[in-house]
Structure 1
Amino acid sequence: MTTQTLQHGAVVRMPVHFDDLDAMGVLHNSRYAVLVERAVVLWWAERGVSFAGGRPTTPDAFNVVREYAVTFHRPVTGTGEIAVHFWVDRLGTSSAEYGFRVTSLDSETVFAEGRRVNIRVDPATMRPAPWTEHGRGIAATLLR
Protein backbone atom coordinates (compact mmCIF):
# COMPACT_ATOMS: atom_id res chain seq x y z
CA MET A 1 0.00 0.00 0.00
CA THR A 2 2.82 2.42 0.75
CA THR A 3 4.52 3.64 -2.39
CA GLN A 4 8.14 4.62 -2.78
CA THR A 5 9.74 7.09 -0.40
CA LEU A 6 10.50 10.48 -1.96
CA GLN A 7 13.33 12.90 -1.28
CA HIS A 8 11.49 13.62 1.94
CA GLY A 9 8.58 11.93 3.63
CA ALA A 10 6.43 9.16 2.23
CA VAL A 11 3.53 8.71 -0.16
CA VAL A 12 0.60 6.42 0.55
CA ARG A 13 -2.10 5.65 -2.01
CA MET A 14 -5.59 5.98 -0.54
CA PRO A 15 -8.97 5.07 -2.01
CA VAL A 16 -11.78 7.59 -2.35
CA HIS A 17 -15.11 5.81 -1.96
CA PHE A 18 -18.57 6.86 -3.11
CA ASP A 19 -19.61 7.69 0.48
CA ASP A 20 -16.65 10.11 0.75
CA LEU A 21 -18.32 12.37 -1.82
CA ASP A 22 -20.73 15.20 -1.11
CA ALA A 23 -23.97 15.99 -2.95
CA MET A 24 -21.99 17.62 -5.78
CA GLY A 25 -19.94 14.46 -6.37
CA VAL A 26 -16.69 15.86 -4.98
CA LEU A 27 -14.66 14.72 -1.99
CA HIS A 28 -16.26 16.27 1.10
CA ASN A 29 -13.94 18.71 2.89
CA SER A 30 -14.00 16.69 6.12
CA ARG A 31 -12.76 13.56 4.33
CA TYR A 32 -9.35 15.08 3.58
CA ALA A 33 -8.45 14.90 7.28
CA VAL A 34 -9.66 11.29 7.40
CA LEU A 35 -7.56 10.32 4.36
CA VAL A 36 -4.45 12.00 5.77
CA GLU A 37 -5.04 10.34 9.15
CA ARG A 38 -5.46 6.91 7.57
CA ALA A 39 -2.34 7.32 5.43
CA VAL A 40 -0.19 8.36 8.40
CA VAL A 41 -1.60 5.60 10.62
CA LEU A 42 -1.03 2.99 7.90
CA TRP A 43 2.57 4.12 7.41
CA TRP A 44 3.31 3.93 11.15
CA ALA A 45 1.51 0.59 11.49
CA GLU A 46 3.76 -0.87 8.77
CA ARG A 47 6.62 0.01 11.10
CA GLY A 48 5.07 -1.58 14.19
CA VAL A 49 3.58 1.53 15.79
CA SER A 50 -0.17 0.94 16.01
CA PHE A 51 -2.93 -0.49 18.16
CA ALA A 52 -3.77 -4.17 18.61
CA GLY A 53 -6.66 -5.39 20.70
CA GLY A 54 -7.40 -1.82 21.76
CA ARG A 55 -3.92 -1.31 23.18
CA PRO A 56 -0.94 0.59 21.74
CA THR A 57 1.82 -1.66 20.41
CA THR A 58 4.39 0.93 21.51
CA PRO A 59 4.21 4.03 23.74
CA ASP A 60 4.56 6.24 20.64
CA ALA A 61 1.23 4.98 19.27
CA PHE A 62 -0.53 6.87 22.08
CA ASN A 63 -0.68 10.39 20.63
CA VAL A 64 -3.28 13.01 19.79
CA VAL A 65 -3.71 15.67 17.12
CA ARG A 66 -3.26 19.13 18.61
CA GLU A 67 -3.55 21.25 15.44
CA TYR A 68 -4.84 20.67 11.94
CA ALA A 69 -4.88 23.09 9.02
CA VAL A 70 -5.76 22.44 5.40
CA THR A 71 -5.88 24.61 2.29
CA PHE A 72 -7.97 23.33 -0.61
CA HIS A 73 -6.79 23.96 -4.16
CA ARG A 74 -8.84 21.75 -6.50
CA PRO A 75 -11.67 19.32 -5.83
CA VAL A 76 -11.26 15.57 -6.02
CA THR A 77 -14.05 14.59 -8.40
CA GLY A 78 -15.33 11.06 -8.14
CA THR A 79 -14.02 7.83 -6.74
CA GLY A 80 -10.66 6.15 -7.26
CA GLU A 81 -7.22 6.45 -5.72
CA ILE A 82 -5.38 9.58 -4.67
CA ALA A 83 -1.94 10.01 -3.10
CA VAL A 84 -1.19 11.41 0.35
CA HIS A 85 2.37 12.74 0.60
CA PHE A 86 3.40 13.57 4.16
CA TRP A 87 6.57 14.39 6.05
CA VAL A 88 7.79 15.71 9.40
CA ASP A 89 8.86 19.35 9.39
CA ARG A 90 9.83 19.43 13.06
CA LEU A 91 10.25 16.76 15.69
CA GLY A 92 10.10 18.12 19.23
CA THR A 93 10.43 16.38 22.57
CA SER A 94 6.76 15.34 22.61
CA SER A 95 5.46 16.86 19.37
CA ALA A 96 5.72 16.10 15.67
CA GLU A 97 4.74 18.72 13.10
CA TYR A 98 3.69 17.10 9.84
CA GLY A 99 3.24 18.70 6.45
CA PHE A 100 1.09 16.99 3.84
CA ARG A 101 -0.22 17.21 0.30
CA VAL A 102 -3.17 15.35 -1.18
CA THR A 103 -2.43 14.83 -4.86
CA SER A 104 -3.24 12.87 -7.96
CA LEU A 105 -1.33 9.58 -8.23
CA ASP A 106 1.21 11.19 -10.55
CA SER A 107 1.61 14.14 -8.09
CA GLU A 108 0.83 16.58 -10.91
CA THR A 109 -2.41 17.86 -9.36
CA VAL A 110 -2.38 19.14 -5.79
CA PHE A 111 -5.89 18.94 -4.37
CA ALA A 112 -5.03 20.17 -0.87
CA GLU A 113 -2.09 20.77 1.43
CA GLY A 114 -1.65 21.50 5.08
CA ARG A 115 -0.11 20.69 8.39
CA ARG A 116 -0.95 18.78 11.53
CA VAL A 117 0.74 18.58 14.90
CA ASN A 118 0.68 15.39 16.95
CA ILE A 119 1.54 15.23 20.64
CA ARG A 120 2.61 12.02 22.34
CA VAL A 121 0.76 11.70 25.64
CA ASP A 122 1.16 9.53 28.70
CA PRO A 123 -1.93 7.27 28.90
CA ALA A 124 -2.08 7.52 32.72
CA THR A 125 -1.88 11.33 32.98
CA MET A 126 -2.99 12.39 29.48
CA ARG A 127 -0.17 14.94 29.59
CA PRO A 128 2.59 15.37 26.98
CA ALA A 129 5.33 12.74 27.19
CA PRO A 130 8.61 12.41 25.27
CA TRP A 131 8.78 10.25 22.16
CA THR A 132 10.80 7.08 22.69
CA GLU A 133 14.18 6.73 20.96
CA HIS A 134 12.63 4.01 18.81
CA GLY A 135 9.80 6.34 17.72
CA ARG A 136 12.20 9.22 17.13
CA GLY A 137 14.29 6.99 14.89
CA ILE A 138 11.27 6.06 12.79
CA ALA A 139 10.04 9.66 12.63
CA ALA A 140 13.50 10.82 11.56
CA THR A 141 13.04 8.98 8.27
CA LEU A 142 10.18 11.38 7.51
CA LEU A 143 12.11 14.58 8.28
CA ARG A 144 12.16 17.18 5.56
Structure 2
Amino acid sequence: MSRPPPARRSEFRVWQRFTTRWADNDAYGHVNNTVYYQWFDSAVNAWLVAQGLLEIARGERIALVVETGCTYNAPLSFPGMVDVGLAVTDLGRSSVRYVLGIFALDADVAAAQGHFVHVLVDRETRRPVPWPDNWRRALETVRASSQ
Protein backbone atom coordinates (compact mmCIF):
# COMPACT_ATOMS: atom_id res chain seq x y z
CA MET A 1 0.00 0.00 0.00
CA SER A 2 1.51 3.35 -0.97
CA ARG A 3 1.02 6.52 0.97
CA PRO A 4 0.59 9.96 -0.54
CA PRO A 5 3.63 12.21 -0.15
CA PRO A 6 3.40 14.57 2.82
CA ALA A 7 1.55 17.79 2.02
CA ARG A 8 3.44 21.10 1.77
CA ARG A 9 2.35 24.46 3.16
CA SER A 10 1.92 25.84 -0.35
CA GLU A 11 -1.06 23.50 -0.90
CA PHE A 12 -3.29 25.34 1.58
CA ARG A 13 -5.20 28.63 1.37
CA VAL A 14 -6.20 29.55 4.93
CA TRP A 15 -4.64 28.89 8.30
CA GLN A 16 -5.57 28.40 11.94
CA ARG A 17 -3.03 28.12 14.75
CA PHE A 18 -3.57 25.93 17.81
CA THR A 19 -1.60 25.32 20.99
CA THR A 20 -1.01 21.74 22.01
CA ARG A 21 -2.17 20.98 25.54
CA TRP A 22 -0.73 18.71 28.21
CA ALA A 23 -3.86 16.55 27.94
CA ASP A 24 -3.26 16.06 24.18
CA ASN A 25 -0.27 13.77 24.77
CA ASP A 26 -1.04 10.09 25.09
CA ALA A 27 0.82 7.35 26.96
CA TYR A 28 3.37 7.19 24.13
CA GLY A 29 4.36 10.84 24.60
CA HIS A 30 2.85 12.30 21.43
CA VAL A 31 -0.43 13.97 20.49
CA ASN A 32 -3.18 11.34 20.33
CA ASN A 33 -4.78 10.74 16.93
CA THR A 34 -8.20 11.96 18.11
CA VAL A 35 -6.80 15.46 18.67
CA TYR A 36 -5.95 15.81 14.97
CA TYR A 37 -9.66 15.37 14.16
CA GLN A 38 -10.51 18.05 16.73
CA TRP A 39 -8.09 20.39 14.96
CA PHE A 40 -9.69 19.57 11.59
CA ASP A 41 -13.17 20.28 12.94
CA SER A 42 -12.12 23.47 14.71
CA ALA A 43 -10.19 24.85 11.72
CA VAL A 44 -13.06 24.29 9.27
CA ASN A 45 -15.79 25.62 11.54
CA ALA A 46 -13.74 28.61 12.73
CA TRP A 47 -13.22 29.59 9.08
CA LEU A 48 -16.94 29.20 8.30
CA VAL A 49 -17.87 31.35 11.30
CA ALA A 50 -15.25 33.99 10.42
CA GLN A 51 -16.74 34.20 6.91
CA GLY A 52 -20.18 34.89 8.41
CA LEU A 53 -21.57 31.68 6.93
CA LEU A 54 -22.19 29.36 9.85
CA GLU A 55 -24.47 30.48 12.65
CA ILE A 56 -23.91 27.64 15.08
CA ALA A 57 -26.79 28.27 17.49
CA ARG A 58 -29.53 29.64 15.22
CA GLY A 59 -28.71 29.26 11.54
CA GLU A 60 -31.27 27.72 9.20
CA ARG A 61 -28.50 25.65 7.63
CA ILE A 62 -25.84 23.57 9.30
CA ALA A 63 -22.95 21.57 7.89
CA LEU A 64 -22.71 17.95 9.00
CA VAL A 65 -19.57 15.85 8.76
CA VAL A 66 -20.16 12.74 6.64
CA GLU A 67 -16.59 11.58 6.08
CA THR A 68 -13.13 12.24 7.45
CA GLY A 69 -9.71 10.65 7.29
CA CYS A 70 -6.11 11.31 8.26
CA THR A 71 -2.62 10.15 7.36
CA TYR A 72 0.11 10.65 9.96
CA ASN A 73 3.64 11.47 8.86
CA ALA A 74 5.47 12.64 12.00
CA PRO A 75 4.65 12.93 15.71
CA LEU A 76 3.71 16.17 17.46
CA SER A 77 3.71 16.71 21.21
CA PHE A 78 3.12 19.11 24.06
CA PRO A 79 4.38 21.75 24.44
CA GLY A 80 4.06 23.22 21.00
CA MET A 81 2.07 25.11 18.44
CA VAL A 82 0.56 23.72 15.25
CA ASP A 83 -0.66 25.39 12.09
CA VAL A 84 -3.66 23.82 10.36
CA GLY A 85 -3.96 24.59 6.66
CA LEU A 86 -7.24 24.34 4.81
CA ALA A 87 -8.23 24.14 1.14
CA VAL A 88 -11.24 22.91 -0.83
CA THR A 89 -10.84 20.22 -3.49
CA ASP A 90 -14.41 19.26 -4.40
CA LEU A 91 -17.51 21.43 -4.27
CA GLY A 92 -20.80 19.77 -5.13
CA ARG A 93 -24.42 20.87 -4.97
CA SER A 94 -24.61 20.48 -1.18
CA SER A 95 -21.28 18.92 -0.21
CA VAL A 96 -17.69 20.08 0.06
CA ARG A 97 -14.43 18.20 0.53
CA TYR A 98 -11.78 20.05 2.50
CA VAL A 99 -8.17 18.97 2.62
CA LEU A 100 -6.22 19.83 5.74
CA GLY A 101 -2.60 19.77 6.74
CA ILE A 102 -1.26 19.90 10.27
CA PHE A 103 2.19 21.39 10.54
CA ALA A 104 4.63 21.89 13.39
CA LEU A 105 5.42 25.57 13.71
CA ASP A 106 7.75 26.64 10.88
CA ALA A 107 7.74 23.19 9.23
CA ASP A 108 7.08 23.05 5.49
CA VAL A 109 6.05 19.37 5.44
CA ALA A 110 2.84 18.24 7.15
CA ALA A 111 3.05 16.12 10.28
CA ALA A 112 -0.43 14.91 9.27
CA GLN A 113 -2.84 15.49 6.45
CA GLY A 114 -6.41 14.56 5.90
CA HIS A 115 -9.80 15.36 4.53
CA PHE A 116 -13.14 16.40 5.91
CA VAL A 117 -16.46 16.27 4.01
CA HIS A 118 -19.38 18.50 4.96
CA VAL A 119 -22.94 18.29 3.67
CA LEU A 120 -25.09 21.39 4.08
CA VAL A 121 -28.48 20.49 5.54
CA ASP A 122 -31.60 22.22 6.78
CA ARG A 123 -31.37 22.44 10.58
CA GLU A 124 -34.89 21.10 11.13
CA THR A 125 -35.27 18.40 8.47
CA ARG A 126 -31.58 17.39 8.31
CA ARG A 127 -32.04 17.02 4.53
CA PRO A 128 -29.36 18.33 2.13
CA VAL A 129 -29.85 21.81 0.71
CA PRO A 130 -27.90 23.54 -2.09
CA TRP A 131 -25.12 25.95 -1.20
CA PRO A 132 -26.38 29.52 -1.04
CA ASP A 133 -24.46 31.84 -3.36
CA ASN A 134 -22.48 33.45 -0.50
CA TRP A 135 -21.34 30.04 0.78
CA ARG A 136 -20.33 28.87 -2.70
CA ARG A 137 -18.37 32.10 -3.37
CA ALA A 138 -16.50 31.78 -0.06
CA LEU A 139 -15.70 28.10 -0.61
CA GLU A 140 -14.42 28.87 -4.12
CA THR A 141 -11.91 31.36 -2.65
CA VAL A 142 -10.10 28.53 -0.85
CA ARG A 143 -10.19 26.01 -3.69
CA ALA A 144 -6.86 24.23 -4.08
CA SER A 145 -4.80 25.55 -6.99
CA SER A 146 -4.85 22.20 -8.83
CA GLN A 147 -8.64 22.47 -9.25
Q: TM-score, normalised by structure 2?
A: 0.84
Matches within 5 A, 1:49-128: 49-51=53-55, 54-56=57-59, 59=61, 62-128=62-128
* Alpha-carbon distance in structure 2 between the residues aligned to 1:111 and 1:29: 12
State how far apart, in whole Å, the 2-side matches of 1:137 and 1:105 are.
30
Q: Unaligned regions of 5+ residues in structure 1, if any?
A: 1-5
CA distance in 1, matches of 2:124, 2:82: 38
CA 1:66/1:31 → structure 2, altered by over 3 Å: closer, same or farther?
A: same
**Residue identity matched to 2:36:** Y
Say which SS state the counterpart of residue 121 (structure 1) adopts. strand
Counterpart check, 1:29 vs 2:30: no
TM-score, with normalisation over the residues of structure 1? 0.86
| Structure-to-structure mapping, 1:119-138, within 5 angstroms | 119-138=119-138
Q: Say what the alpha-carbon RMSD is for the aligned residues.
A: 1.9
Amino acid at match of 2:63: N
Q: Deviations over 1:68-109 (max 9, x none)?
A: 010111110222210101100011000001111111222324
Q: How many residues align?
A: 136
Tell me the SS of whatever aligns to 1:24. Answer: coil
Equivalent-residue separation in structure 1 for 2:92 and 2:46 (angstroms) = 22
Please tell me whether the aligned partners of residues 44 and 50 of structure 1 are also in contact (alpha carbons under 8 angstroms).
Answer: yes
Look up the match of 1:43.
47
Shift of 1:8: 4.6
Runs (4+) of structure 1 exceeding 4 A deviation are none
Q: Is the 8 A contact 2:16 2:83 kept in 1?
A: yes
Pair 109,44 (structure 1): closer, same or farther in 2 beyond 3 Å: same
Whole-angstrom CA distance in 1 between matches of 2:58 and 2:113: 31
Q: Tell me by how many angstroms 1:115 deviates.
A: 1.0
For residue 39 of structure 1, report the CA deviation from its aligned partner.
Answer: 1.2
- Partner SS, residue 51 of structure 1: coil
Residues 109, 40 of structure 1: CA spacing in aligned structure 2 closer, same or farther, 3 A cutoff?
Answer: same
Alignment pair present for 1:11 and 2:15: yes
3-state SS of paired residue (2:111): strand
Residue identity in the other structure for 1:38:
S
5+ long unaligned stretches in structure 2: 1-9
